[in-house]
Structure 1
Amino acid sequence: MYKVVIADDEVLIRMYIREILENNGFEVVGEAEDGLDAITVCKQKHPDFVIMDVNMPVMTGLEAARVIHEDKLAGFVMILTAYRDKEIADQAVDMDAMGYIVKPVDEDTLMPAVKIALNNYRQWEEMKREFSRTREALDDRKYLDRAKGMIMDQRQMSEQDAYAYLRHLSMDKGISMTELAKMLLKAYEK
């Protein structure tokens, strides 16, 4: 069940959105009537996402959304606004909002927007994980290649023999080849 925070200065809109979300299996873990409260609620509840009105007192929804996004207080933010305004939409894009909903909101507009945002967020998170794994594998490969080159120079070995040497040593010592490569590089590089 996804946890949601709703931020809107109009209590009736919050109540209506809450009802729609809860009727569709979402858990509303908090509500806020201004941007500052939205940040506070997100710090306490760590929701999966926030539905955030743009025009609220104390701090605007866009300002609060930026803080929530930068501080990773929620998975993502969806912007809710009464205006079809290119500037607001551009600002929402700049702060990586996953959705843009124009009032008046009803179940037929809210739920498809939420489902699309959730799907896009899952895909985005998977791409970030894949990128991180790829970067880590490349970094590991760089360490291994440098250590292999060092072994080739020091022991006058072929590339294949240096690799076999590192593999044998890592198995013998019970550590990964990457960790071994890092240790050797620290110990022998000047």
Structure 2
Amino acid sequence: MKRVLIVDDAAFMRQMLKKTLEKNGFEVIGEAENGLKAVEMYKKLKPDIVTMDITMPESDGVEALSEIMKYDSNAKVVMMSAMGQAPKIKEAVLLGAKGFIIKPFKEEPFIKIISRL
């Protein structure tokens, strides 16, 4: 069972992701509401996969991705954001993100992307 860390500043989105992931056989081992906590939790929990929102307070998803990739170059991080984030998406992919999901997400394509990791 793949272990997942969910990172999103919106509690309802974290809940929706958790429910969807658990329903499809993933174990959610942690949740973070900003990039600073995401990096801290990644180091502590060592998840198999991270779902990372781009726009968050304190430290955004791209900054957190950069820190996680410095710590673990094999990290599997999938970025998530609403439309209109093209420059940030490109930056995230260059930093090592393994995929991108547009919110609001549809369950089937989301699980397909996560399962490939």
TM-score range, shorter chain: over 0.9
**Alignment match, 2:58:** 58
How far is 1:74 from its partner?
6.9
Higher strand share: 2
Match of 1:46 in 2: 46
Amino acid in the other structure paired with 2:9: D
Could you tell me which residue of structure 1 aligns to residue 13 of structure 2?
A: 13
Give the distance between the partners of 2:45 and 2:3, measured in 1 at CA.
8
Question: 2 CA distance for matches of 1:61 and 1:75?
Answer: 14
C-alpha deviation, 1:29, in angstroms: 0.5
- Counterpart for residue 89 of structure 2: 89
Instruction: Give the Cα–Cα distance (whole angstroms) in 1 for the partners of residues 31 and 66 of structure 2.
Output: 18
Contact 1:5 1:51 in 2 (8 A): yes
After superposition, residues 59-138 of structure 1 pair within 5 angstroms as: 59-72=59-72, 75-116=75-116, 118=117
For residue 29 of structure 2, give the secondary structure of its aligned residue in structure 1: strand
Off by >6 Å, runs of 4+ in structure 1: none
More relative contact order, 1 or 2 (CA 8 Å, 6+ apart) = 2
Q: TM-score, normalised by structure 1?
A: 0.59
State the SS of the aligned residue for 1:22: helix
Bigger radius of gyration among the two: 1
1:175 aligns with: none
Task: Provide the C-alpha distance between the structure 2 equivalents of 1:101 and 1:67, rounded to a whole number of angstroms.
Answer: 20
**What TM-score, normalized by structure 2, do the two folds share?**
0.93
Cα distance in 1 for partners of 2:3, 2:84 equals 27
Range that drifts further, 72-81 or 91-100: 72-81
Aligned mates of 1:74, 1:55 — CA distance in 2: 23
The one-letter code sitting in structure 2 at the alignment partner of 1:69 is M
User: Structure 2: which amino acid aligns with 1:93?
Assistant: V
Structure 1: gaps spanning 5 or more residues? 119-190
Q: Larger deviation: 1-10 or 75-84?
A: 75-84
1:31 equivalent in alignment to 2:31: yes
% identical aligned pairs: 37
Give 1 or 2: higher helix fraction. 1
Q: Is contact 1:7–1:33 with CA below 8 Å preserved after alignment?
A: yes
State the one-letter code of the partner of 2:97: A
How far 1:109 moved relative to its partner? 2.6
Unaligned stretches of 5+ residues in structure 2 = none
The count of corresponding residues between Structure 1 and Structure 2 is: 117
Preserved CA contact (<8 Å) 1:39 1:64: yes
In 2 relative to 1, CA 33–73 (structure 1 residues): closer, same or farther, beyond 3 Å?
farther
